[in-house]
Amino acid sequence: MIGGVSRARAVLALSSLLPVLLLAGCSDDEPEPKFGPTPSATAPSSASPSPSAPAKSKHQQQAALIDDFIAAVTQALGTGDPSAFLALTADTCQNCRVLADNLEDAFSDGGRIEGGKWELISSDFQSEEPLGSVWNVDVRSARERWLDGDGQPTKIVRAGVQHFGLAIEKTEDGWLVREMRLRA
């Protein structure tokens, strides 16, 4: 019931803001198109930071890792290849390995997962602990149908919100997910 109320409030808030946003773009004068400078062939790529770009804080770097990790899990749900999200985890992450094994098993012998998608709702830093920086991460998961090679369902996972605790550690190669656990 609470989820329905929150969703109803969000829809109401968005619907009341929509006319304001639409009218904000209107004016009586004729706007003139503005063109920026044309990019040069020697323009720096977005991958290399500019000298004036501020360095990301530790928590910003960790939050970026969480974004990448959730996106990589979604990719693995569609392909059965967990290598991208495992590359973002430490060897000590037992639950990451369990998830990877389950995905590989689901796709063995022609199986597949239909509808699997994780969407990051929030990631909130909690504390520094001996196992690393601890984050509470909420993920919205779409309904999943796990099918065997003959197209027969082997598992149905309901859509919902999953609450994870992630421990993130610094290594020589950067930040990695050290552990992932479901939380209540």
Instruction: From first to last of the 184 residues of the chain, give the pLDDT tens digit.
Output: 444 444 333 333 333 333 333 333 333 444 443 334 444 444 444 445 556 667 889 999 999 999 999 999 999 999 999 999 999 999 999 999 999 999 999 999 999 999 989 999 999 999 999 999 999 999 999 999 999 999 999 999 999 999 999 999 999 989 999 999 999 7
List the CATH code of the domain at 57-184.
Answer: 3.10.450.50
Give this prediction's pTM: 0.69
Per the document, the length of the chain is 184
Contacts of 167 (CB under 8 A, 6+ apart): 129, 131, 132, 133, 134, 135, 177, 178, 179, 180
Q: Hey, what amino acid is at 18?
A: L
Q: Which residue is associated with the tokens 């890792």?
A: 65
Distance, CA of 74 to chain centre: 8
The residue ranges of every structural domain in the chain are: 57-184
Q: Is 16 left (phi over 0), alpha (psi -120 to 50) or beta?
A: alpha
- Measure Cα distances from 59 to 4, 123, 170 in Å: 32, 10, 12
